[in-house]
Each structure stands twice: as structure tokens, then as C-alpha cells.
């Protein structure tokens, strides 16, 4: 029965919608017919025709109203009115192009920016890693709780122990990457190799696209060699030829056949990895518990939580500690979700960005709300007529909301276009951020944008619509504009004030970041980074077996490079100066009292002897170190000397290194003192540092070469010389040192640029709001102005009156904004350098700028007010 | 009837209209008069309530409408009960009987 009724109603709905004019005409005729018949009745009772008709009409209560009440219950009414609302809303918007364009642009900026940032956050933070069940992947590292050493790498034999003894992981594996040369082709080619432990593909859950995974024999010592290659390498080297399977690669002295090709989506551990090789377990160099190489990744069993895994591996490590007290008793295990390790500090910046953008959207909404309020008061007449024609309050509110909704929709559509463009810009600006290539607009972003539009509609439109509909008929029709002055304006001024406050807060933040960035730029680094070329020469860790040969090789390269025309100095270093790479080391001063409570720590850098000359770090005392076999020379910097040798000179003293490096470095002698250099980054004060003079800290150190002219101009010359010296090796990552320094500051720069952009948009929006509200105020108070002028006020006084009104509200907004900025200064504290979050100079500059802009925005309406002609104004009704 | 009362008695109004039409087809004013008659003057249905009810019931399939000529030769829309409408009238009548019996019992107790 219910179903029949529903079907009937739907058929009627369709009929009503399709044949609306006809249906309406019939209704009209029916109701009028009723009136006629009622009139006839009354006439039959003895009234005259006119009296009868009048009574009939009164009894009816109004033809239009009855018709409207009937229409309301008809099927399909809702859709019909909706359609009519939309049509009318579109027409109204079209007739006010100025307002519409401003509103749509404002919304587009707000919604578009929100969508762009959200899509970036989604790609970089929210979407899990693109592996099956990526949330199960964990990064596992070891660390010594007693030493603040950043060495998280794990020894292969320990990895195997963990894998065997744990109960919470499906499998654990490890990898490390290094560069080498592949020599089976006509020229040696540099490739990036990832050396992996067994079960590598099992942990990732990815299978090769062609060929197969490693077999168990290939993963043990003595077994046949095998390699997996990446899709990119396959394309580049073999042109995607399936016959590449089985071909032999030549790495070092060995030939390695290709057994599998990975799919193009597999880019782990690095985007650049070309070849995966196994590290055979059981090989002698994998047996030592101190040889730590691997970055370990594991996949949790289904249903196991992070807490359980942590507890389990902690127990396993305790057992190992009992079995092998040295070194396992000192080692603890750390487990983190893999996702977190890839992101680092980026997460914090992004949420700050998201907050700023949402704030911007809020400001945009308030602007629109103010504009809508202004317009709705101008439409009071129209709205009153609607009431008179029988419209209900809900209908009218709905009509006004539809307009706002159309605006929001248009703004969202345009905003999506903006967001697409912004994504591209984001990718270029932030190319160094992880996973930035994965940012696209997708269905979720579009959905988010639509939700934003709806929210915006409600925020902007509800209040003005409700307000407009609240007025009674008689009040609005009879009233002239004279009476309604300050009460409504108070709300609009409040909105302007809040906007100004928010803009001031954003501007203060941006200003502080700008100044902090400048301060970093002006800091003296303690070394001369210009005219220095850096590069790498491929090498393999196997060379560490013969340190003497390695050192000789590197020294030979350096000597040869120094003879090149255009080169003045050359050196090697384990780390780049000015690029943060912490490595702290505990040591003990041999001659002198040792305080057991006070740990002596310093930064440890391994550099070749000519490092200081190459970077122009001044030698303050003693002499430059030399490489000698037998004893180890070190240099220290001035901070070190001042901290640990306040009275005597540090030169000549001996240091004993403690901790993991103790095996490699026996007692060291301090040869000299050099000036402080900001090795940890330009925004960090120099720390006490020990430089060990050792040109081969690793097989593949950074090479630093000081050139007379622009560094890159020597690139080809250096390559050719190295091709002569070391034909089997490739030269890569050539860049001036200044490029590296710029890169390390790129995140700061990005933050600064973006925040400045938002602050600029915010203040622009606030000014638009100010202008709009003041103009409206002038328009509404025309009569009052006319009166004042008639009573003797000068034009200048009128202009000043309005100017001060605008500035006054602005000043209040500034005060509120300052308070907000000061209370939220803690948010920025971590990102600032050289300037405090409540820096007076910056804050006052912001306030002055905002007031100046407000004055400009208020000028035009104020001047317009002064030009009002009192005669026309007083006659205006 | 004032608006409030109409909402309370919407189901009842439907029933009255259908009862009035059970006696034969009729136009809007006629239905109003008939209701007045059969309720002995208690209910005077205003057009503001009547027309919406008539149109609604027509769209739900309980009534059917056709244009015709009234007594004074005016064009008017005549409504009559459909088969579905008759069934609905019976259902409603029974339900109403049960309700009024229950309330009468309650008040006497």
C-alpha cells in the first residue's frame, strides 16, 4: 500500500514538473472558481454582488496565499523550488558582477590554497607507503643509550639473530647502499647498488616484474652471485629488452648475472637504486658483531602492535647481551614506523602551513559574510515583498543560502584550478621534500573541496540570511533607511576588526621568519664557502680491507688535482661543512684531571690535512697536522680549546678516544688550534670540534677543491683528470659547495615564502573588507552626512570622521592581533634564528604597515563621504 | 480552523473529505459544505486547508479529479473517490472506531 502511494506521488511529481504552467493555470482557475461560487452563494442569501465578492475574498484569505499553500504540498514541490532558487540566484549574481567576481575570487583563493596544501599533506603524510600493508613496516635500529652516537646501523650477524629469535615480526631484513662502477659496457658507468640481507623482497611484499627473487643458495656464502635490477635501470641500459635477464653485469672484478627485474613502482631504499645484490650470510666479514652496516626494516605479523614488538625485541636483545656481553650488553633496540622515519621534521611544517591556510579561508569567509550582510540590507525591500506574497521564512532563508552556495560552488571550481596550478608550483619549490612527486589532485581532494564549499556556505551565508529574514513586513516596507544605522554596522565592524587581527598575526609571523632568514644569511660561517667544488668518486666498501692502499690512492688523487690549472687547494672530508650531520664523540684528556661526572664530548670530523687551507679556516696556534702512520694527529677548534683547556694551551696534549671508534684511533695528539667554523649549519653556533687528519675516512669521501674561478667551470677538467687516474671509477654529484648550503636552508626558505604569501593575502582581504564596510557605512549614512553639512560641518571634517572610524577599528584589530601574536609566539620559537618571537622592531613595523594600508583603504570612501551633496542627501528617501 | 488545529487533525480531515465524497463526486466548495453538513456545523474547512488536502490526496491516488460544470454553469474541478480511496476510507474508519472506543474506556475508568 505504501509502495503504491509512493509510486503515485512520484508520477504526480514528474507530471507537475514537466507541465508546470498548465498545472498552475488549473490551480488558479480552481481557486478563483471557488471564490466565484462562494460569491454566488452569498448573493443568493441576499448580499449585493460587491459585498458578496468582498466577503468571499476575505473568507478565502487571499488567492495567492491559498495557491501557495496548495503548491507547497504538491509532489515535486521541493525540486521545483530548488530549481527556481538556483535560477534566480544565478540571475542575481550575474546582475552584480562586481560583487560576484570579488566573492568568487576570494573563495577560490581560500578553497584552492586549502586544497593544494591538503593534497600535499595527503601525499606526503597521510597516504601510507605504497607497499602492501605499508603500516606494518617498521624501521629497526640499534643504539647505545650511553653514547649520543647517531649510528643506528645494525651488524649483519645481529640482524640474523633478531630474525631468528623474535616472535612479533614476519621477517626482518637489512640493506645499505653505495655507489660503484659497472664496467661491462664501453664506458664505466656509475650505478647505485643496494646490498641487501636475505628476505628483502619478502619484507616489502613486492615480487619482480620479470624473472625471480634471490634463491636461498644465492643468499649464502659460497653460492652463485645474482642481481636484481630496477625498472629504471632496465629502461636506461637495456631499453626494456626482456633478454636482459641472464645478462652479466660486471661490478668490481666479478661478473653477476641478472636474475630479476623489479616493477617501476619499486624505488626502495632510494629513488636512485639501480641494482640489488645480496650480502651472503656466513661470509667472514659479516660475522663481527661490531661491523655495523645495515639499515634494518621489518614487517610486523598481522595483529601485532608496535608496543608488543618493542617489548619482544627488547627481550631478545637482553638475551643476546647475556650471550655476548661485548658489545650486545650495551645495545638497545629502537623501533619506529617506517613512515615516520622518512618524514622527519617535514610533518611539523606542514601542519603549520595547514593552520595558516585554514585561517586564510576563515578570513575569506568573513569577508564574504560582511559583503553579504551589506547586500542583504539593500535587498530588504525585495525580501519584504516576498513575505507579502506568502513566502515562508524558511523559503527565504533557503533562497539566500542558495546564492551563497552558488558562489561557493563557483569559488570551489575555480579553486580546484588554482589548486592544480599550486601543486605544480609546490613541486618545483619543494623538490627536495620526500615524496613530493606523489602529490596529485584526486577524488578525495575534490571531495574535500566540496565539503569546504558547504562549510563556507554555512559560515558565510547563514547569519546574513537569518538576519535578513527576521524582519517583519510592516517594519521594512514602511521604514526609510534613516533609522537603521549603527546596530547592524556594529557586527560588520566587528568582522573587519577580527580580520585585521588575524592579518596582523600572520604578518608578524612572516616578518619574523624573514628577519630570521636574513640573520642566517649574514652570519659569518667561519669558512669561505665560495669557489669550492665538491664531488664524489665511486668506490666500494671492500677497499677498507687495505687502508694503506686506500689512503695512498686518495692522496694521489688529491696531489694530482692540485696540479690542475685553476685549482689552488684540494682536500677530502667525511662531511660537508655547513651541512648538518652530527657526529659526537666521547673522549678523555690524558694529561689532566678526569672528572668522572663530567663527560667530555666534542664533534668529530675526519678531514684531510689540507681541509683548513681549502676552506680558508685560519690556523690559530700550533701547526697543521700531517698524516703519519703510527700515531694519530688531530686539530681542535677554538671552542674546544676554550672549553677544555681554559688555562693552558691545548697544543701538545693527548686525547684518548672512547667508544666505538676506540678500535680505530689510539691516543691522538693535538697538533694545533684552528678557528671556529659553523660546521653544523649556518644557524648553529660552532661546537667544540676535533678534526682527525685522515684523508681516507671512508672509501668515498667528499672531495673539496678550491678553484680560482667559478667552481663548475672546472668540472670537465676534473672529470678528465680523474678518468686518467682512475679509469674504472666514475665521478658524480658535482656541485659548488654553495649549492649544498642553499639546499640545507631550503626548507626555511620555503616556510618563509609561503607564510609571507599568506600574510600578504590576508592583509589584502582585510583591506577589501574595510573598504567594503566603510563604503556601505557611507552609503547608509548619507542622510546623516547631509544633515551634518547642512548644520555647518566642513567637508574635511566629514572625511576625517569616516577616516578615523576606519582607522579606529583597525587600531583595535591591531591590538588584538598583537596580543594573539605574542601569545602564539611559542609556535614559531623553534624556527627562528637571531630574533626573538616578540621582537619589538618587527611587531611595530607590522602595525605601522597595517595602519598605513588601512588609511589608504579608508581614504576613498571617506573622500566620497565628503563629496556628498547635502541637498540630494536630505531629499533622498 | 486555525493552522495548529489543522495539523492535529490532518488525518481526520482526510477522512472527512473521503466520507463526504463517498456520497458522490463534488467540487471544492461543495465538499466544504458537505463536511459542514455531516458534522452538523462543527467543522468548517477553510480553503487554505481544503485545497492542499484535496491536491495531496489526489496525488496519492485516493481521489481522482476531472473538470466539469457546476450548478451555476461555472467551470469547476470535481473530485471523486478511487478504489484505493475507498479502501483507505474503510481502514481509517475502523482505526478511528478503535481509537475512540479506547479513549472512551479510558475516560470512564
Instruction: Summarize pLDDT for A651-690 with one digit per residue, the tens.
Output: 888 777 766 566 666 677 888 888 888 887 777 778 888 8
Give me the residue from A8, A36, A69 closest to B52, CB to CB: A69
- Tell whether the model's pLDDT for residue A445 goes beyond 60: yes
| Model confidence band, residue A480 (pLDDT cutoffs 50, 70, 90) | very low
Report chain A residues whose CB lies below 8 A from the CB of B48: 60-61, 65-66, 69
| Judgement on whether residues A285 and A166 belong to the same structural domain of the protein | yes
List the CATH number of the domain containing B30. Answer: 1.10.10.10
pLDDT tens digit sequence for A160-193 = 888 888 888 888 888 888 777 777 766 667 788 8
pLDDT tier for residue B79 given thresholds of 50, 70 and 90: very high
Q: What is the pTM of this model?
A: 0.55
Residue A791 burial (CB count, 10 A): 8
Q: Please provide the average confidence, as pLDDT, over all residues in chain A.
A: 79
Q: Which of residues 513-542 of A touch B (CB under 8 A)?
A: none
Considering CB atoms only, which of B53, B61, B77 is closest to A30?
B77
The per-residue pLDDT for range A727-740, each reduced to its tens digit, is 877 787 788 888 87
- What percent of chain A lies above the pLDDT cut of 90? 2
Convert the pLDDT of each residue in B7-33 to its tens digit.
446 678 888 899 999 988 898 888 989
| Other CB atoms within 10 A of residue A778 CB | 22
Angle subtended at Cα A670 by Cα A665 and Cα A672, rounded to the nearest 5 degrees: 135
On whether any CB of chain B is under 8 Å from the CB of A392, the answer is no
Q: What is the average pLDDT across A372-377?
A: 70
Q: Taking chain B, what is the end-to-end CA distance rounded to the nearest angstrom?
A: 32
pLDDT band at A471 (very low <50, low <70, confident <90, very high): low
Subunit contact A34:B29, Cβ cutoff 8 A? yes
Domain boundary among A330, A355, A389: A330
pLDDT tens track for A33-49: 888 888 888 888 888 88
Whole-number Å distance between alpha carbons of A634 and A627: 10
Among residues A789, A760, A771, the alpha carbon closest in space to that of A871 is found at A789
Does the residue A114 lie in any domain?
A: no
User: Omega before A505 cis (within 30°)?
Assistant: no
CA distance A135 to chain B (A): 55
* pLDDT attached to residue A512: 87
Nearest to A199 by CA among A121, A122, A296: A296
A620 inside 8 A of chain B by CB: no
A318 touches chain B (CB under 8 A): no
Taking residues A366-393, what's their average pLDDT?
72
Q: What is the Cα–Cα distance from A104 to B10, expressed in whole angstroms? A: 46
Residue A437: per-residue pLDDT? 59
Name the DSSP class of A209. S
| Distance from C-alpha of A709 to C-alpha of A715, rounded to nearest angstrom | 11
| Domain extent for A66 | 2-75
Give me the residues of A, 47-76, that contact B with CB < 8 A.
59-61, 65-66, 69-70, 72-75
Q: Are residues A402 and A442 in the same domain?
A: yes
Q: Which residues of A touch B75 (CB under 8 A)?
A: 29, 33
Nearest CA to A142 out of A5, A295, A249, A31 is that of A295
Percent of chain A having pLDDT more than 70?
A: 85
Q: What residues of B are in contact with residue A66 (Cβ under 8 Å)?
A: 47-48, 51
Report the pLDDT value the prediction gives residue A356, as an integer from 0 to 100. Answer: 74
Q: Do residue A292 and residue A373 come from a single domain?
A: no
Q: pLDDT per residue over A502-544, tens digit each?
A: 889 888 888 888 888 888 777 778 888 888 999 888 777 677 7
Q: Is any Cβ of chain B less than 8 angstroms from the Cβ of A41?
A: yes
Indicate yes or no: CB of B70 within 8 angstroms of CB of A73.
Answer: no
Cell numbers 630570521: residue: A516
Which of the pair, A701 or A465, is modelled with greater confidence? A701
- A769 and A841 share one domain: yes
d(Cα A157, Cα A332) in Å, to the nearest integer?
Answer: 16
User: Is residue A475 predicted with pLDDT exceeding 60?
Assistant: no
pLDDT of residue A813: 92
Cβ within 8 Å, pair A5-B51: no
Whether ipTM exceeds 0.90: no
The answer, yes or no, to whether residue B108 has pLDDT greater than 80, is yes
Question: Domain boundary residue among A729, A761, A779?
Answer: A729
Which chain B residues are closer than 8 Å to A70 by Cβ?
51-52, 55
Contact yes or no for A531/A706 (Cβ under 8 A)? yes
For residues A764 and A863, membership in a common domain is answered with yes
Domain count, chain A: 4
Give the span between the Cα atoms of A531 and A548, in whole angstroms: 31
| Interchain contact, B61 vs A26, CB within 8 Å | no
pLDDT for A439 = 62
The reported pLDDT for the residue numbered A194 is: 87
Q: Is residue A737 part of a domain?
A: no
Whether residue A433 is predicted with pLDDT greater than 60 in this model: the reply is no
pLDDT higher for A70 or A330?
Answer: A70
Residues of B in contact with A30 (CB under 8 A): 28, 51, 76-77
> Are A818 and A854 part of one and the same domain?
yes
Same domain, A772 and A839: yes
The whole-angstrom distance between A53's CA and the closest CA on chain B is 15
Q: Calculate mean pLDDT across residues A682-699.
A: 80
SS3 A21: helix
Does A483 have pLDDT greater than 60? no
Residues of B in contact with A69 (CB under 8 A): 48, 51-52
A854 vs A803: CA distance, rounded Å: 9
pLDDT class for A598, splitting at 50, 70, 90? Answer: low
Q: Is A290 an interface residue toward B (CB < 8 Å)?
A: no
Q: Report the alpha-carbon distance of residue B50 to residue B30 in Å, rounded.
A: 11
Within a domain: A124: no
Task: Check whether residue A753 and residue A807 sit in a common domain.
Answer: yes
Could you tell me if residue A275 is inside a domain?
Answer: yes
A752 shares a domain with A724: no
Residue pair A408/A457 in contact by the 8 Å Cβ criterion: yes
Query: Which among B46, B56, B76 has the least Cβ separation from residue A33?
Result: B76
Domain that holds residue B73: 3-108
- A317 and A443 both lie in a single domain: no
d(CA B102, CA B96): 10
* Band of pLDDT at residue A814, cut at 50, 70 and 90: very high
**Least confident window among A199-213, A259-273, A836-850:** A259-273
B68 touches chain A (CB under 8 A): no
Instruction: Give the integer Cα–Cα distance in Å for A114 and A29.
Output: 54
* Helix-helix angle A2-18:B47-60, to 10 degrees: 110
Is residue A411 predicted with pLDDT exceeding 80? yes
Q: Which of A75, A102, A132 is the last residue of a domain?
A: A75
Which long-range contacts link A377-380 to residues 24+ away (Cβ below 8 Å)? A377/A468, A377/A484, A377/A488, A377/A780, A379/A468, A380/A468, A380/A471, A380/A476
Q: How many angstroms separate the CA atoms of A231 and A266, rounded? A: 8
Interface contact flag, A26 B77, Cβ < 8 Å: yes
Give the mean pLDDT of A73-93: 84
8 A C-beta contact, residue B17 and residue B31: yes
Of the candidate ranges A89-103, A505-519, A605-619, B18-32, the one whose mean pLDDT is the lowest: A89-103
Q: Does A106 reside within a domain? A: no
Total domains present in chain B: 1
Indicate the angle between helix axes A737-744 and A746-780, nearest 10 degrees: 50
Is residue A126 assigned to a domain? no
Domain membership flag for residue A188: yes
Q: In this structure, is residue A335 part of a structural domain? A: no
Which residues in chain A touch residue B60, judged by CB atoms under 8 angstroms apart? 5, 8-9
Amino acid at each position: 500500500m505504501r509502495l503504491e502511494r509512493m509510486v503515485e506521488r512520484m508520477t504526480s511529481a514528474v507530471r507537475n514538473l514537466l507541465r508546470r504552467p498548465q498545472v498552475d493555470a488549473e490551480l488558479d482557475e480552481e481557486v478563483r472558481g471557488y471564490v466565484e461560487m462562494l460569491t454566488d452563494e452569498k448573493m443568493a442569501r441576499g448580499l449585493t454582488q460587491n459585498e458578496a465578492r468582498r466577503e468571499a475574498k476575505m473568507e478565502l484569505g487571499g488567492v495567492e496565499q491559498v495557491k501557495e499553500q496548495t503548491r507547497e504540498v504538491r509532489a515535486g514541490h521541493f525540486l521545483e523550488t530548488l530549481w527556481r532558487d538556483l535560477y534566480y540566484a544565478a540571475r542575481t549574481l550575474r546582475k552584480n558582477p562586481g560583487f560576484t567576481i570579488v566573492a568568487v575570487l576570494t573563495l577560490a583563493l581560500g578553497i584552492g590554497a586549502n586544497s593544494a596544501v591538503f593534497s600535499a599533506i595527503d601525499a606526503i603524510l597521510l597516504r601510507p607507503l605504497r607497499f602492501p600493508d605499508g603500516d606494518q613496516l617498521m624501521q629497526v635500529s640499534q643504539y647505545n643509550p650511553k653514547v649520543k652516537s647517531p649510528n643506528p646501523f645494525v651488524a649483519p650477524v645481529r640482524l640474523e639473530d633478531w630474525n631468528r629469535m623474535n616472535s612479533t615480526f614476519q621477517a626482518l631484513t637489512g640493506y645499505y647502499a653505495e655507489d660503484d662502477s659497472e664496467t661491462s659496457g664501453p664506458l664505466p658507468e656509475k650505478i647505485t647498488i643496494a646490498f641487501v640481507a636475505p628476505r628483502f623482497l619478502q619484507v616489502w611484499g613486492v615480487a619482480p616484474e620479470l624473472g625471480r627473487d634471490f634463491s636461498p643458495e644465492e643468499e649464502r656464502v659460497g653460492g652463485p652471485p645474482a642481481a636484481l635490477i630496477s625498472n629504471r635501470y632496465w629502461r636506461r641500459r637495456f631499453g626494456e629488452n626482456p633478454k636482459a635477464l641472464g645478462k652479466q653485469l660486471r661490478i668490481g672484478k666479478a661478473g653477476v648475472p641478472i636474475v630479476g627485474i623489479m616493477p617501476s613502482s619499486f624505488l626502495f631504499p632510494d629513488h636512485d637504486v639501480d641494482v640489488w645484490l645480496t650480502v651472503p650470510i656466513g661470509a667472514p666479514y659479516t660475522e663481527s658483531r661490531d661491523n655495523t652496516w645495515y639499515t634494518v626494516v621489518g614487517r610486523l605479523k598481522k595483529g601485532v602492535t608496535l608496543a608488543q614488538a618493542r617489548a619482544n625485541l627488547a627481550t631478545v636483545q637482553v638475551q643476546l647481551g647475556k650471550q655476548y656481553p661485548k658489545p650486545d650488553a650495551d645495545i638497545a633496540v629502537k623501533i619506529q614506523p617506517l613512515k615516520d622515519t622518512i618524514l622527519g621534521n617535514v610533518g611539523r611544517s606542514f601542519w603549520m602551513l595547514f593552520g595558516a591556510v585554514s585561517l586564510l579561508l576563515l578570513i575569506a569567509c568573513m569577508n564574504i559574510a560582511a559583503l553579504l550582510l551589506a547586500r542583504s540590507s539593500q535587498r530588504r525591500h525585495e525580501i519584504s515583498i516576498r513575505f507579502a506574497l506568502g513566502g515562508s521564512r524558511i523559503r527565504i532563508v533557503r533562497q539566500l543560502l542558495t546564492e551563497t552556495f552558488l558562489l561557493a560552488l563557483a569559488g570551489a571550481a575555480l579553486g580546484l584550478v588554482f589548486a592544480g596550478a599550486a601543486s605544480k608550483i609546490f613541486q618545483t619549490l619543494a623538490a627536495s621534500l620526500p615524496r613530493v612527486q606523489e602529490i596529485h589532485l584526486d577524488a578525495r581532494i575534490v571531495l574535500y573541496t566540496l565539503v569546504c564549499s558547504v562549510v563556507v556556505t554555512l559560515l558565510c551565508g547563514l547569519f546574513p540570511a537569518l538576519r535578513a529574514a527576521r524582519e517583519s513586513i510592516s517594519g521594512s516596507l514602511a521604514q526609510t533607511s534613516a533609522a537603521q544605522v549603527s546596530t547592524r554596522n556594529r557586527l560588520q565592524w566587528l568582522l573587519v576588526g577580527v580580520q585585521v587581527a588575524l592579518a596582523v598575526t600572520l604578518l608578524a609571523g612572516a616578518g619574523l621568519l624573514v628577519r630570521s632568514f636574513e640573520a642566517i644569511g649574514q652570519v659569518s660561517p667561519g669558512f669561505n664557502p665560495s669557489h669550492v667544488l665538491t664531488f664524489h668518486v665511486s668506490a666500494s666498501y671492500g677497499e677498507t680491507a687495505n687502508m694503506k692502499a686506500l689512503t695512498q690512492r686518495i692522496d694521489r688523487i688529491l696531489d694530482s688535482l692540485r696540479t690542475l690549472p685553476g685549482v689552488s687547494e684540494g682536500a677530502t672530508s667525511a662531511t660537508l661543512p655547513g651541512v648538518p650531520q652530527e657526529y659526537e664523540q666521547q673522549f678523555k684528556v690524558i694529561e689532566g684531571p678526569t672528572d668522572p661526572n663530567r663527560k667530555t664530548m666534542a664533534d668529530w670530523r675526519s678531514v684531510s690535512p689540507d681541509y683548513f687551507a681549502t676552506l680558508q679556516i685560519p690556523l690559530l696556534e700550533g701547526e697543521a697536522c700531517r698524516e703519519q702512520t703510527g700515531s694519530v694527529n688531530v686539530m681542535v677548534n677554538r671552542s674546544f680549546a676554550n672549553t677544555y683547556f681554559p688555562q693552558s694551551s691545548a697544543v701538545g696534549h693527548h686525547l684518548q678516544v672512547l667508544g666505538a671508534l676506540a678500535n680505530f684511533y689510539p691516543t691522538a695528539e693535538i697538533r694545533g688550534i684552528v678557528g671556529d667554523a659553523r660546521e653544523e649549519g649556518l644557524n648553529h653556533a660552532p661546537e667544540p670540534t676535533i678534526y682527525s687528519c685522515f684523508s681516507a675516512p671512508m672509501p668515498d669521501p667528499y672531495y673539496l677543491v678550491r678553484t680560482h674561478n667559478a667552481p663548475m667551470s672546472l668540472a670537465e677538467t676534473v672529470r678528465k683528470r680523474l678518468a686518467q687516474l682512475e679509469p674504472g671509477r666514475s665521478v658524480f654529484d658535482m656541485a659548488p659547495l654553495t649549492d649544498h648550503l642553499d639546499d640545507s636552508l631550503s626548507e626555511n626558505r620555503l616556510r618563509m615564502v609561503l607564510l609571507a604569501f599568506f600574510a600578504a593575502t590576508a592583509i589584502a582581504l582585510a583591506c577589501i573588507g574595510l573598504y567594503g564596510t566603510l563604503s556601505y557605512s557611507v552609503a547608509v549614512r548619507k542622510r546623516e552626512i547631509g544633515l551634518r553639512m547642512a548644520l555647518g560641518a566642513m567637508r574635511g571634517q566629514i572625511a576625517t570622521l569616516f577616516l578615523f572610524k576606519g582607522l579606529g577599528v583597525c587600531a583595535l584589530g591591531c591590538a588584538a592581533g598583537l596580543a594573539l601574536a605574542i601569545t602564539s609566539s611559542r609556535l614559531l620559537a623553534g624556527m627562528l634564528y637571531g630574533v626573538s618571537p616578540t621582537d619589538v622592531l618587527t611587531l611595530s613595523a607590522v602595525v605601522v604597515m597595517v595602519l598605513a594600508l588601512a588609511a589608504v583603504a579608508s581614504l576613498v570612501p571617506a573622500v566620497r563621504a565628503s563629496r556628498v551633496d547635502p541637498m540630494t542627501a536630505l531629499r533622498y528617501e | 480552523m486555525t493552522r495548529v488545529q489543522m495539523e492535529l487533525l490532518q488525518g481526520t480531515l482526510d477522512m472527512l473529505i473521503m466520507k463526504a465524497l463517498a456520497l458522490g463526486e463534488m467540487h471544492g466548495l461543495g465538499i466544504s459544505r458537505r463536511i459542514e453538513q455531516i458534522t452538523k456545523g462543527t467543522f468548517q474547512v477553510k480553503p487554505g486547508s481544503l485545497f492542499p488536502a484535496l491536491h495531496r490526496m489526489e496525488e496519492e491516488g485516493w481521489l481522482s479529479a476531472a473538470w466539469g460544470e457546476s450548478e451555476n454553469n461555472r467551470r469547476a474541478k470535481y473530485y471523486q473517490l478511487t478504489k484505493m480511496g475507498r479502501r483507505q476510507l474503510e481502514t481509517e474508519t475502523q482505526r478511528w472506531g478503535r481509537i475512540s472506543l479506547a479513549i472512551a474506556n479510558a475516560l470512564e475508568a
